[in-house]
Copies of this chain bind each other. A is one copy, B any other.
């Protein structure tokens, strides 16, 4: 039996699969079998759901397999270990999350609109990746140090981009000097995470409204007078 884990680092899958994906020969007829990477991602999402509900240690590989409709042993065709499954869930959670932040920081909207976008994007991650981001937040520390390096790097990158957003605004003089960019960024992340955790498995919440409220809280606090509302200069 050929191992599907020929290459150890890339999350893109095994070599033979990659070659066949690159191969110019079109893969014949209509009803194709579901590609490896596609089913593997389904496996990752299944793991995310189970980890979110029961926690990493509380979840069993049997739980994950059942949700996928296969047997416990078969799961190891897609993961080398339960730990790897958790790592993949965390990586998946950060993938689009970080990408969207990059787009936001490079846009030329006003500061206030960027903050709204950040909050909106963050909260939306709890819809799209659903359980994955929750798992990243709550369970990633159960991974051993070596396995957390990439995850830590991505997380720090995200935080730093948000900090720089505040720093730039402070440098422009549009925000008081005494604001601490690190504090502000961490607060935005924390606020979004705590609301996001409540969002999971509660589909009837008005996201737009919530995002507006969150960014408004961050910019103006909950006690501002309308005529004092912050407006950043473009």
Contact = CB atoms under 8 A, between A and B. Distances in A.
A61 B180 CA distance: 43
Contact of A194 (B191, B214, B222): B191
A198 B141 CA distance: 13
A218 interface: yes
A58 B214 CA distance: 34
B224 A176 contact: yes
In the complex this chain forms, how many copies of it are found?
2
Interface string A182-219: 01101101110111001000000000001001101111
A214 B95 CA distance: 30
Given A55-B55, A187-B191, A221 B217 contact: yes
Nearest to A198: B186
A61 to B, nearest CB: 14
Contacts of A166: 222
A107 B98 CA distance: 44
Chain A at the B interface: mostly helix, strand, loop or mixed? helix
Interface in A31-62: 54-58
Nearest to A181: B222
A223 interface: yes
A226 interface: yes
Contacts of A124: none
A219 B221 contact: yes
B223 A219 contact: yes
B189 A55 contact: no
A153 interface: no
Contacts of A57: 54-58
Given A175-B223, A224-B228, 13 more contacts: A54-B57, A55-B55, A55-B56, A55-B58, A55-B142, A56-B58, A186-B194, A186-B195, A219-B223, A220-B220, A220-B221, A224-B224, A225-B228
Interface of A: 54-58, 112, 138-139, 142, 166, 169, 174-176, 179-180, 183-184, 186-187, 189-191, 193-195, 198, 210, 213-214, 216-226, 228, 230, 232
14 contacts: A56-B57, A57-B58, A138-B138, A184-B222, A186-B194, A189-B194, A190-B190, A190-B195, A194-B194, A217-B218, A220-B223, A221-B221, A223-B232, A224-B230
